[in-house]
């Protein structure tokens, strides 16, 4: 297993003559929730498609858990703004559907029918367990037409996570939801992060590694442990967008009050770095994630905190 859940090396992309992405480099540790923000059209979805493997980049490489992504792979999952559920399957069946395709063949489902029934039962049990984790234990038997937008989106998330991909990409996943639903799903991500922390404390690899694209700067800082900003204005020429902001952000516990005032300063800094069309002369000014780690407390990041040398400390 690789140290990184995701590694992007010198990734550039152009559509014809039009440069969209310029030398993106990024390393994400297992268990991180990384928010990506940037002006509309700067290439966020293009980057996610390259990571997903459906649209390979013009240049550069993507590694998911150390394995090169050259096409769609079970290492990477995605959830879009508009959930794609099967209307004729209930919540439990929708979530189990991916497992069915993944773990049984047509031969299993016909010739080896008794064995298949046992596997199927296990899949439905796993599906119910996962639906409980996203707060939908009451809705296992509901069909999409009987669910709210937020419920459908949680089923879609369960569908992606149950296959245990190394990275899950969320492209504006809450964009179509009303404010209350959106908040509910944000808290769900905070709960996932707490599960990650528990796994890490137990010496295990955290389960949920997430890249979430959002237009909402508050949402980005609230749900993530790291925020990345993309902009085209990092150079005088027009080469495409790159990462111009990369910093850790405060980790909220689901029981904490939702206090945006705690990160007003960071939000304003992010806005300036990413949405200001004055070109940034020092493109690394706000790309300080790794060096900022030293300032964080335990439990504030899934990235390994630097070891503090005690050799020269006065108490040694």
Q: Which stretch binds ligand ATP (CB under 6 A): 39-47, 81-89, 96-104, 149-157?
A: 39-47
Total residues at interface with Mg ion (CB under 5 A): 1
For ligand ATP, the binding residue among 44, 133, 226, 234 (CB under 6 A) is 44
**Using CB under 5 A as the criterion, what x/- string covers residues 36-75 for binding Mg ion?**
---------x------------------------------
77 interacts with, out of Mg ion, ligand ATP, none, CB within 5 to 8 A per kind: none
Q: How far apart are CA 162 and CA 105, in angstroms?
A: 18
Please tell me what DSSP assigns to residue 241.
B
Contact call for residue 45 and ligand ATP (CB under 6 A): yes
Of 45 and 300, nearer to ligand ATP (C-beta) is 45
CA distances from 8 to 40, 63, 69, 94, 149 (A): 22, 6, 10, 32, 33
Of 42 and 251, nearer to ligand ATP (C-beta) is 42
Contact call for residue 51 and ligand ATP (CB under 6 A): no
Of 233, 226, 216, 244, nearest to 300 (Cα)?
226
Q: Which residue has the tokens 């899950």?
A: 168
Contact call for residue 40 and ligand ATP (CB under 6 A): yes
Sheet containing strand 67-68, strands side by side: 18-28, 6-15, 59-64, 67-68
Contact call for residue 43 and ligand ATP (CB under 6 A): yes
Query: Residue 195 CB: number of other CB atoms within 10 A?
Result: 14
CA distances from 163 to 76, 101, 103, 168, 284 (A): 10, 11, 10, 10, 36
41 interacts with, out of ligand ATP, Mg ion, none, CB within 5 to 8 A per kind: ligand ATP
DSSP string, 3-58: S-SEEEEEEEEEETTEEEEEEEEEEE-TT-EEEEE--TTSSHHHHHHHHHTSS--S
Of 172 and 195, nearer to ligand ATP (C-beta) is 172
Contact call for residue 313 and ligand ATP (CB under 6 A): no
Q: Which stretch binds ligand ATP (CB under 6 A): 33-41, 115-123, 142-150, 196-204?
A: 33-41
CA 223 to chain CA centroid, nearest Å: 10
Q: How far apart are CA 113 and CA 291, in angstroms?
A: 56
Contact call for residue 2 and Mg ion (CB under 5 A): no
Contact call for residue 194 and Mg ion (CB under 5 A): no
CA distances from 22 to 57, 60, 284, 314 (A): 11, 10, 14, 46
Contact call for residue 20 and ligand ATP (CB under 6 A): yes
Total residues at interface with ligand ATP (CB under 6 A): 10
DSSP string, 35-47: EEE--TTSSHHHH
Q: Which residues in 122-141 contact ligand ATP (CB under 6 A)?
A: none
Contact call for residue 42 and ligand ATP (CB under 6 A): yes
Q: Which stretch binds ligand ATP (CB under 6 A): 42-50, 110-118, 147-155, 201-209?
A: 42-50
CB of 229 closer than 8 Å to CB of 287: no
Contact call for residue 310 and ligand ATP (CB under 6 A): no
Binding stretches for ligand ATP (CB under 6 A): 15, 20, 38, 40-46
């Amino acid at each position: 297993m690789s140290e990184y859940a995701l590694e992007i090396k010198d990734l550039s992309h152009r559509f014809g003559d039009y440069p969209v992405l310029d030398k993106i480099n990024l390393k994400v540790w297992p268990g991180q929730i990384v928010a990506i923000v940037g002006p509309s059209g700067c290439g966020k979805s293009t980057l996610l498609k390259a990571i997903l493997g459906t649209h390979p980049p013009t240049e550069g490489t993507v590694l998911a858990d150390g394995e090169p992504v050259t096409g769609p792979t079970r290492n990477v999952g995605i959830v879009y703004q508009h959930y794609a559920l099967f209307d004729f399957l209930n919540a439990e069946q929708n979530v189990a559907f991916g497992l069915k395709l993944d773990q049984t063949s047509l031969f299993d489902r016909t010739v080896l029918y008794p064995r298949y029934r046992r596997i199927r039962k296990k899949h439905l049990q796993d599906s119910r367990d996962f639906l409980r984790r996203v707060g939908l234990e009451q809705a296992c038997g509901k069909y999409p037409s009987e669910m709210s937008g937020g419920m459908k989106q949680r089923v879609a998330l369960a569908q992606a996570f149950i296959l245990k991909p190394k990275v899950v990409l969320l492209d504006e996943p809450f964009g179509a939801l009303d404010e209350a639903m959106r908040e509910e799903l944000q808290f769900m991500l905070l709960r996932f992060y707490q599960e990650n922390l528990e796994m890490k404390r137990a010496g295990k690899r955290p389960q949920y590694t997430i890249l979430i694209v959002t237009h909402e700067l508050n949402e980005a800082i609230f749900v993530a442990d790291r925020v990345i900003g993309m902009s085209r204005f990092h150079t005088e020429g027009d080469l495409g967008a790159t990462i111009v902001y990369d910093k850790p952000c405060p980790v909220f516990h689901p029981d904490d009050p939702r206090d945006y005032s705690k990160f007003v300063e960071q939000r304003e800094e992010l806005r300036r770095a990413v949405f200001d069309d004055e070109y940034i002369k020092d493109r690394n000014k706000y790309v300080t994630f790794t060096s900022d780690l030293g300032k964080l407390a335990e439990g504030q990041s899934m990235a390994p905190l630097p070891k503090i040398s005690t050799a020269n400390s006065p108490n040694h």
